Structure 1
């Protein structure tokens, strides 16, 4: 993570605020400087009302993190950062040409008199930079930050030069209580680098330093523990260091030792009788941190020292929950063995079993179930462990949870795991749930249904809208009813031209003539979504779609009122929905007059005429047929009398029925004529 410090200049000792930048990590030092200069010269001056505390234009680049051999008193992360592995190649030197009469100065301004902002940052190659900006954002000065010379005492400690440290420590001019950085004393330096002999000398010369804090509130003991310097820890404890003093994040030396998974230091601190149940600022205890590290040796020591198993952090999470969340089997077994509650719940209601299922930890789920963990406890969202496992696609976990989950409890949640499996295209899990007897016609509760604009309710709807042919087939074969949703799956499939799914739905009893309660029509609503694709439209008519209502118009030969349309809320690409007249639903002649459909009016009417006898075309349909000369033959086709063979076909279909017709042993040509198969349906979905 890159870091840059930005501060208003004032007194020389004013604190610096830190901000992160990572935009220019591929630039060299010279390129960064040139970019900053050019931006300053070309940038439009900001108004005088600009917030002076805002950071200057970001010219920082990504920096590598602090290395293990250098102390970083200003670091704030609980966990150590990784060093950057990227290295930038040096760019060729380039000269800078100034087009402004006021280029950046060659010398840095005096901080005591400078009115503006100072930005410190680090380039991708690790060079520290400093930039001065006026209040209007213009650059005044930018250059590498002068390197601070390390004080002799601190250098001697880092190098482990004990004789030099002894000489400097007893020197009358040396003030051991004077920090080299914010709060960073010589004892912190010795603890950081593990120089226990130097530490002894410093404490002998100035015992009052033993519990002094850094800018982060760390005592020398905390620094030594964080760096796993056992020798320094022992020296500090022997010289009166307080083993209970935490840093400003309320992390005690014991907590840091557990975080570093250092059993020797933990044992040393426990022998001093330190408190084992102290919470850090996030509510974590040393035991919970050990569970994350899965160090059973330390867990055993903490438990013998009085660590409590069921203490919760600020999110209501116990150590056992943490073990399940991280899949730490050894820790999970240890905690269960010593009496931890396997049904512990976090503040959001999630159980350890739910969290293990969510994270896909199969062995943890198996262990918890073997210890009678309750699979029927829902979280705040109402979902059970089985729900989340079905959603995440964990086949083995779903198989373990199915026998442990109550179907009645699933029904009370208002959502079936079938919904989640179908939504995420988890076909294997869908099959497992169907075989286990979960209701394929389970519907979302009204509360969950309202979360979807189309008010979907069945798993079949999810499978259809995902164009998942295999899931649709499984659900239909298992008895899924295709007519339960308000907006039918057949309409969804027709809207996007899913021919194979349309055929499956029709074969399993989908109601072709259903309407949409929120958008009533006088004709089958599915026609709104299939008219542009005539083979699909014809297939629906062949399989029982009503054609006669399409010619039923209350206006007849009289003029029609203007049409008002609006877009469907379900899909920006869907057909326009006509505003419903107060008298009744939208008429077919009104729907076919929509701008996106009227260009196909002639062929659509032509197909419909094959499925009706004597009908009268209303004035609006006649207008469409008159709009193109090539459609004149369609008008002639509609004019009475209709052909006798056609009328006979309609009578046979009406009396025999389409389903029984297929069972009759008739000549192929006659069967094709009766079933309108002159133009076969394209089977490609």
Structure 2
């Protein structure tokens, strides 16, 4: 294939057998290289040079071309540049600028938003028309002094976001330039930008202490808030600059002035866990219990964000550990919610009430169990009233089981919480299936470990409206089904809201024949599947409708429950009708198949033997087996094993005769 590719590229004479034999020792990359070289050489050769090149041996030609490549290339002809080349320093217009900042290397950058909403960062555009800004950025005090003296209008000219030269000097911390500008225009000291930012606010936001001090000495107003309702004092707390905080407080800043959503400087200092600033604010008159619009106090902020040092400081200075937010949550609740064990321990040591509920009725123990924090749960258990939990209408067991927090579930069970606690009506109606028990949550999550713990602790599997056994059967989980049956689950469970003439357990396991057989072995009512109200008479037609679960509609009277023959006639189950009927016939005596079941068995010739199996009379051994099993009752397999009967007879009673010895 490689040789063929060479011949197609080359325009020289056709290669003979000898030429191909020479190429046999070359790699594929060398063949491709040779083809390219020959093509280039032959296209550029002229006259006798071309003939000489064509007569050369291919391998020699290849070596010659390599030598040509190693030779220095001829000097290329100079191409003149375009008449008007674009300048690299041409300023690019950037719109929608949101912020200006300086990198660690001193480079000025801007953050802006593109038309598609994405944020971008780029060097700050050069203001070519105004040398004053360039002088301020460079700290060129002499130039600023000259421009301020001879062009006073430039001092009040508005630039980006409504900034004037004084804003620029304050933002970049150019103290000497700032002094020159204020001497020239002292009335601009409290000038606001388009975002209501004063020079003082900008200097505080960039931690320029000297600029802040100078402007305050000149009488700068310390309480002018930006458009976001942030004061310079709030910004200083956010930046954790204690020096600026002290300057602003000494300059008369209002310590309790609120910003967006009622947040105060103390809230911000506590959020930053800065005890030094918190102490300065309190000495200046900050209210320790002031709340924002959501009822959140500084102590609540400390507990919510895990700020231990700030929390100790607030408690030491008289903060109420049991204050509640607008939704009823306490600091203890928030600490439990966010997993701050040290905070929970501190609050409990200061007599925080573990029985204060939110407006939704949840206690700190509830939220700790839901989040799965064992340490916090173990601390809250002895502090929480069981009566208060019962009044809440939901147990921590429910929340732990719902979120698969097995370690917490085990801890609560060992602490003696009621494994059969039921959800209140208000909580239960939040679920479409009206679940009530912690066991139901474990089963629907297919959490076998949690279900085992609850059942071994005494959980009743028959308390929910929709039986957990039906959930397990529907999921096809034989381990969960076995677990529930062994602990007394009703094998003949029905659905109250969807009445059927046969157990709903049969309805959910028609596609799982081993599971169906297991249910029948343990006493499921197979006889009801053959007690059709229509018998050998014509059945009403069935109209199937598809959605998430297959349902059907029939012309039968509304009071008549769904019949087994109707359920087995649905589109996705009818193909299994024969095997299903075959399994059920092993657990009944003499029965009469209704017209629809016969119709199903007649639809497939291999099912004729099943139809014959149902014809009376049934074998005596089958009738005896059914009689013995009916006497034994529930728990049939375990009871059969305790009977003093031969092993082969036990196998027959357990419907394992197909596995018995041949001499039976």
TM-score (norm 1): 0.77
Q: Which residue of 2 aligns with 1:554?
A: 533
Contact 2:167 2:202 in 1 (8 A): yes
Contact 1:62 1:124 in 2 (8 A): no
Structure 2, gaps ≥5 residues long: 1-93, 660-664
Matched, 1:320 2:299: yes
Contact 1:458 1:484 in 2 (8 A): yes
Task: Give deviations 1:529-587, integer Å, cap 9, x for gaps.
Answer: 0111111001001001011111111211111111245568xxx2x45366674343111
Aligned to 2:582, which of 580, 592, 606? 606
Matched, 1:615 2:591: yes
Task: Give deviations 1:615-669, integer Å, cap 9, x for gaps.
Answer: 1111111111111111111121111111111111112222234253231132221
Q: Which residue of 1 aligns with 2:148?
A: 169
Q: Which residue of 1 aligns with 2:431?
A: 452
What secondary structure sits across from 1:282 in the alignment? helix
What secondary structure sits across from 1:467 in the alignment? coil
Distance 2:285 2:119 in 1: 49
What secondary structure sits across from 2:536 in the alignment? coil
Contact 1:551 1:617 in 2 (8 A): yes
What secondary structure sits across from 1:402 in the alignment? helix
Deviation of 1:494 (Å) = 0.7
Matched, 1:265 2:237: no
Contact 2:365 2:381 in 1 (8 A): yes
Q: Which residue of 2 aligns with 1:588?
A: 564
Distance 1:521 1:384 in 2: 42
What secondary structure sits across from 1:390 in the alignment? helix
Q: Which residue of 1 aligns with 2:321?
A: 342
Matched, 1:543 2:518: no
Q: Which residue of 2 aligns with 1:468?
A: 447
Matched, 1:126 2:122: yes
Alignment of 1:639-654 (within 5 A): 639-654=615-630
Q: Which residue of 1 aligns with 2:184?
A: 205
Q: Which residue of 1 aligns with 2:649?
A: 670
Deviation of 1:454 (Å) = 1.5
Kindly tell me: are residues 74 and 675 of structure 1, through their superposed partners in 2, closer, same or farther at Cα, counting changes over 3 Å? Answer: closer
Distance 2:448 2:116 in 1: 59
Q: Which residue of 2 aligns with 1:216?
A: 195
Higher RCO structure, 1 or 2 (CA under 8 Å, sep 6+) = 1
Matched, 1:506 2:485: yes
Deviation of 1:67 (Å) = 3.7
Kindly tell me: are residues 318 and 122 of structure 1, through their superposed partners in 2, closer, same or farther at Cα, counting changes over 3 Å? Answer: closer
Q: Which residue of 2 aligns with 1:412?
A: 391
Tell me the C-alpha RMSD between the 2 structures. Answer: 2.6
> How many aligned residue pairs are there?
560
Distance 1:471 1:417 in 2: 14
TM-score (norm 2): 0.80
Contact 2:112 2:120 in 1 (8 A): no
Q: Which residue of 1 aligns with 2:510?
A: 531
Distance 1:604 1:641 in 2: 21
Contact 2:127 2:133 in 1 (8 A): no
Task: Give deviations 1:517-539, integer Å, cap 9, x for gaps.
Answer: 00111111110101111110010
Matched, 1:290 2:269: yes
Task: Give deviations 1:163-197, integer Å, cap 9, x for gaps.
Answer: 22212111145442122223211111111111112
Distance 2:361 2:597 in 1: 53
Q: Which residue of 2 aligns with 1:232?
A: 211
Alignment of 1:53-452 (within 5 A): 66-68=101-103, 126=122, 148-149=127-128, 151-172=130-151, 174-452=153-431
Kindly tell me: are residues 326 and 679 of structure 1, through their superposed partners in 2, closer, same or farther at Cα, counting changes over 3 Å? Answer: farther
Kindly tell me: are residues 279 and 381 of structure 1, through their superposed partners in 2, closer, same or farther at Cα, counting changes over 3 Å? Answer: same
Structure showing greater radius of gyration is 2
Kindly tell me: are residues 559 and 656 of structure 1, through their superposed partners in 2, closer, same or farther at Cα, counting changes over 3 Å? Answer: same
Distance 2:241 2:119 in 1: 35
What secondary structure sits across from 1:182 in the alignment? helix
Q: Which residue of 2 aligns with 1:635?
A: 611
Task: Give deviations 1:275-316, integer Å, cap 9, x for gaps.
Answer: 211101321111111001111111111111111011111221
Task: Give deviations 1:414-466, integer Å, cap 9, x for gaps.
Answer: 22111111111111011011111111111221122122112211111111111
Distance 2:253 2:179 in 1: 23
Q: Which residue of 1 aligns with 2:551?
A: 576
Kindly tell me: are residues 158 and 65 of structure 1, through their superposed partners in 2, closer, same or farther at Cα, counting changes over 3 Å? Answer: closer
Task: Give deviations 1:106-152, integer Å, cap 9, x for gaps.
Answer: xxxxxxxxxxxx96999967389xxxxxxxxxxxxxxxxx8542621
Distance 1:564 1:221 in 2: 78
Distance 1:121 1:375 in 2: 46
Q: Which residue of 1 aligns with 2:498?
A: 519
What secondary structure sits across from 2:162 in the alignment? coil
Distance 2:254 2:108 in 1: 28
Distance 2:154 2:530 in 1: 103
